[in-house]
Amino acid sequence: MNSQFNAKDRWMVVVPTYNERDNLPLLCQRVLECTVGMAHLLIVDDNSPDGTGQLADELAHRHPQVHVLHRQRKEGLGRAYVAGFQQALEMGYELIAQMDADLSHDPADLPRLLQVTHEADLVLGSRYVPGGDVSNWSRHRFWLSFFANQYVRLITRLPLRDATGGYRMWRRELLEAIQLASVHSNGYAFQIEMAYRAHRMGFRIREIPIVFTERRAGKSKLSRRVIWEAMWLPWKLSFSRMDTDKPPIRNPLPPV
Ligand SMILES: Nc1nc2c(ncn2[C@@H]2O[C@H](COP(=O)(O)OP(=O)(O)OP(=O)(O)O)[C@@H](O)[C@H]2O)c(=O)[nH]1
Ligand SMILES: [Mg+2]
């Protein structure tokens, strides 16, 4: 791990990868370009059979801002993020972003997410606030995702338009308060649970519009299991009070 820098001045973008060989070089290049070298990148690879891990090592060798966390086996997006967030916190970063490796999240939006952390503890890139959108999705996929978010909102009363989105930026105080070791959900359920915990603890959440673009290379890891978990989780959250729960002390800011 190459780490000659003052972590307080820098921020970390955590990217989980599983078989993203065709996307990773461009993603890395664009993140570094769009953040003019100010962001560091942590690639969390689950021993991808297509060699994404080795490619990540080569990128880390070439760019001092790039770091790699290798994990033994595929355990899902949530486990990869928990490991990546813990690593970023240990390394001392104050601001930690998360994004997919498949270029669905445009790295050019990173500076906007960063800017809003001045007034929020969690900034969500949102497809469903005015100005947000999706590109290259079938009508069916759009409505499925849109109604899934309405469903989450109705059951959990989480006042967010896009609780399943995975383009976010966190302040370290919030990630520390969440007690990452106790988060066990994966996939979309992981995104919902993390936002829910932040809200229940009264942290400031702000949604900003993003345009999400369907992946062009590589394969989706979306599975039936991921969808079932996301459908079940809102009920679990609304029925069981988690250890970390406290009544909200502040309301999230309204969407812009
Ligand atoms: N390390 C790790 N990364 C994963 C795992 N599952 C998914 N990912 C990564 O998580 C990100 C999101 O996964 P996608 O397959 O794009 O899933 P999605 O964006 O929810 O679904 P699509 O919209 O169909 O692409 C990508 O960067 C994946 O490579 C996993 O088990 N381990
Ligand atoms: Mg994707």
Percent of the chain's residues with pLDDT above 90: 76
Structural domains of the chain, ranges and CATH numbers in brackets: 7-239 (3.90.550.10)
CA 215 to ligand 1 centroid distance, Å: 10
CA 78 to ligand 2 centroid distance, Å: 14
Dump pLDDT digits (tens) for 122-180. Answer: 999 999 999 999 998 989 889 989 999 999 999 999 999 999 999 999 999 999 999 99
**DSSP-derived 3-state class of residue 170:** strand
CA 245 to ligand 2 centroid distance, Å: 30
Closest C-alpha residue for ligand 1 atom 11: 100
Instruction: Fill in the DSSP letter of residue 8.
Output: G
**DSSP-derived 3-state class of residue 205:** strand
Please classify residue 118 by burial: count the beta carbons closer than 10 Å to its beta carbon, then call 0-12 exposed, 13-18 middle and 19+ buried.
exposed
Q: Which of 21, 27, 2, 29 is nearest to 91 (CA)?
A: 2
Tell me what pLDDT residue 1 has: 42
Q: Which of the four pLDDT bands, split at 50, 70 and 90, describes residue 242?
A: low
Tell me what pLDDT residue 4 has: 43
Nearest atom in ligand 1 to 187's CA: 20
Dump pLDDT digits (tens) for 16-44. Answer: 999 999 999 999 999 999 998 889 999 99
Q: Which of 77, 127, 215 to mutate to test the pocket of ligand 1 (most atoms within 8 A of CB)?
A: 77
Tell me what pLDDT residue 220 has: 83
Q: Which of the four pLDDT bands, split at 50, 70 and 90, describes residue 3?
A: very low
Of all ligands present, the nearest one to the C-alpha of 15 is 1
Tell me what pLDDT residue 126 has: 98
Q: Provide the whole-model pTM.
A: 0.91
Instruction: Fill in the DSSP letter of residue 119.
Output: S
Q: Which of the four pLDDT bands, split at 50, 70 and 90, describes residue 216?
A: confident
CA 4 to ligand 2 centroid distance, Å: 32
Q: Which of the four pLDDT bands, split at 50, 70 and 90, describes residue 211?
A: very high
Mean pLDDT of the chain: 90
Asked if the model's pLDDT at residue 15 lies above 80, the reply is yes
Of all ligands present, the nearest one to the C-alpha of 74 is 1
Tell me what pLDDT residue 254 has: 57
Q: Which residues have any ligand 1 atom within 6 Å of their CB?
A: 16-18, 20, 44-46, 74-77, 80, 100-102, 104, 215, 220-222
- Mean pLDDT across the stretch 197-213? 96
Distance (Å, whole) CA 100 – CA 83:
15
Tell me what pLDDT residue 37 has: 81
Tell me what pLDDT residue 230 has: 87
Across 161-174, b (16+ Cβ under 10 Å) vs e yields bbbbbbbbbbbbeb
Of all ligands present, the nearest one to the C-alpha of 27 is 1
CA 222 to ligand 1 centroid distance, Å: 7
Nearest atom in ligand 1 to 76's CA: 31
